[in-house]
Homo-oligomer: A and B are copies of this chain.
């Protein structure tokens, strides 16, 4: 049986070394990894083919699992991009001299050991490893069983890069893809500083409910857009289309549209771009009637159930619900939102003010699609996930969001009365 605690202790020890290396030393390892990934494209494809051969092509995970020469090229590109970002660790966040003469500094430092539990996407292995190394964190990865061979090939290259760069081997550890390994990781109190699940709702819930180590909940989003009666048609048409259809499988994709009752007569027209793309609407009685009489294709209209209101569709489907005013829109989001991304389309200042000051979510948008909830779009340079909890980082997480801080106080023998 694998002695997980021994692995965690080695990673912790590596994290102490990694944290005090220079940014240049850490970045060099990532540059080397980018080169090794390109040089070993065939090896990665071979390992990936073994994984793919075990999966049915009709499985929706197949596409996520699959590596191709162009995807591998883009992994190498992403690695070089991360290597060249600014490193947040070491930054002085605050410097004050206290009345007693003590110099107090608040300094940004890596978390230490970051655990990541994920599913069938082998690119996540490179992604997380590079973001952690860059920010000075060691990491423990627990990938999905489906991607076992791909991940083994990836960690082989990562360890080769660490060795060539003179960084500790245990800066990145890949656990076996067993349930035991996940349990051990989630219970590694004092050894793993934070754990981030990357995957679907079930994985995230399991991690949150099981972990004794601190967790950052990520991803799952029941995302709303509210068309206020003052909405401008051109903006409404553009942003609802972009938010719903740009990519339906991502967490910032729109799930529920809240329509002010005054807009019911025009809603079928405003949603015509969605009709053209075949978006199926699950609408409440009033909206259904308006959509039908407005000419939204009837084979794309379904009566919404109560459960639809809490659904993250991940599909060319969307809920449409009628609200009387901004108050009802906010109440709907309070009841059914997941704190991810929420948007209002409106010109009325009071409605905008009410929505944007009161909706409780990581990202609140005015006259914009929720598709912008993304580390790259926010200018964070990279993204390790999108946090939907309030403790710790919230919203898109880049390098800075996987750091913490430390107080350093210097004096010459002052004592506390």
Contact = CB atoms under 8 A, between A and B. Distances in A.
A20 interface: yes
Contacts of A319: none
Interface stretch (A138-146, A148-156, A276-284, A400-408): A400-408
A208 B358 CA distance: 31
Interface stretch (A174-182, A286-294, A385-393): A385-393
Interface string A392-417: 10110000000011111111111110
Contacts of A413: 232, 234-235, 238-239, 367-368
Q: Which residue, of A194, A235, A367, A368, has the highest number of chain B Cβ atoms within 10 A?
A: A368
Interface residues of A, number: 66
A359 to B, nearest CB: 9
Contact of A391 (B98, B194, B369, B408): B194
Given A360-B112, A409-B368, A193 B414 contact: no
A362 B394 CA distance: 21
Interface in A338-368: 356-358, 360-368
Contacts of A361: 406
B416 A372 contact: yes
B235 A416 contact: no
A16 B212 contact: no
Nearest to A235: B413
A390 B194 contact: yes
A130 to B, nearest CB: 21
A416 B242 contact: yes
A391 B412 CA distance: 31
Contacts of A410: 356, 365-368
A231 B387 CA distance: 45
A334 interface: yes
A83 interface: no
Given A391-B194, A413-B239, A415-B242, A408 B368 contact: no
A232 to B, nearest CB: 8
Given A111-B391, A391-B193, A408-B356, A415 B367 contact: no
Contact of A214 (B235, B369, B391): B391
B406 A235 contact: no
A133 to B, nearest CB: 18
A246 interface: yes
A215 interface: yes
A215 to B, nearest CB: 7
A406 B378 contact: no
Nearest to A414: B368
A387 to B, nearest CB: 10
B412 A367 contact: yes
Given A238-B413, A406-B394, A411-B367, A214 B214 contact: yes
A115 to B, nearest CB: 12
Contact of A358 (B20, B212, B235, B414): B20
A60 interface: no
A188 to B, nearest CB: 13
20 contacts: A19-B360, A20-B358, A96-B379, A104-B379, A111-B390, A193-B390, A194-B390, A234-B413, A239-B413, A246-B415, A246-B416, A363-B409, A367-B412, A368-B409, A368-B410, A368-B413, A369-B416, A372-B409, A374-B416, A390-B404
